[in-house]
Amino acid sequence: MTLEGKKIAILIAPRGTEEPEFKQPKDAVEAAGATVTVVGIEAGEAKTNNGDLDPGGSYPVDKAVNDVSASDFDGLVIPGGTVGADKLRADGDFVSFVQSFFEQGKPVGVICHGPWLLVQADVLKGRTVTSYSSIRKDIENAGATWVDQVVVTDQGLVTSRKPDDLPAFCAKIVEEFGEGRHPEQARSA
């Protein structure tokens, strides 16, 4: 599947995003031909983590979240990492940014602890998703059905559990981003 001409945003939190969950999806959508914009708290650079505690690499941040709009993109990737997901869900600009993707019916890929941001954005009611098992109750309390599967797709929303699931997750987000807009996903705020 080719993503030529597609613009994909991927989120990063300073000293908190899980490196493989950031790098592998980014590489996969770029390899499929998409243009990827790294969106963070501020433009510049952000360091990732490995296993939440060990330092990862540094990556350029192309745009600050308050300088972009969901209408600029065809899809969104939200990596995990306990620390990173917690930082992102505490930032109202990220919450609004994510809500806009759902309002516009655009595909979103989320892995590991990333669904915490979806809980905060209040976009999970009636969905079937997966995540890292420790946030199952948060997801259920947000009105979603949680399942223990490698990858789950629900109306353009792709979720996976953990770094071991990255090959299946990356393949599925490329497929969903290639399909484009999901009108059945669009929801009013």
Pairing of strands 128-129, 145-146: parallel
Active site residue 182: no
Q: Which of 83, 112, 124, 174 is catalytic?
A: 112
Question: Rounded to whole angstroms, how far apart are CA atoms 118 and 127?
Answer: 11
Q: Which two tokens stand for residue 25?
A: 């999806």
d(CA 106, CA 91) in angstroms, rounded, equals: 21
User: Is-catalytic flag, 112?
Assistant: yes
CB 124 within 8 A of CB 118: yes
Which one of the listed residues 6, 106, 113, 182 is annotated catalytic? 113
Q: How many CB atoms lie within 10 A of CB 57?
A: 12
Residues with a known catalytic role: 112-113
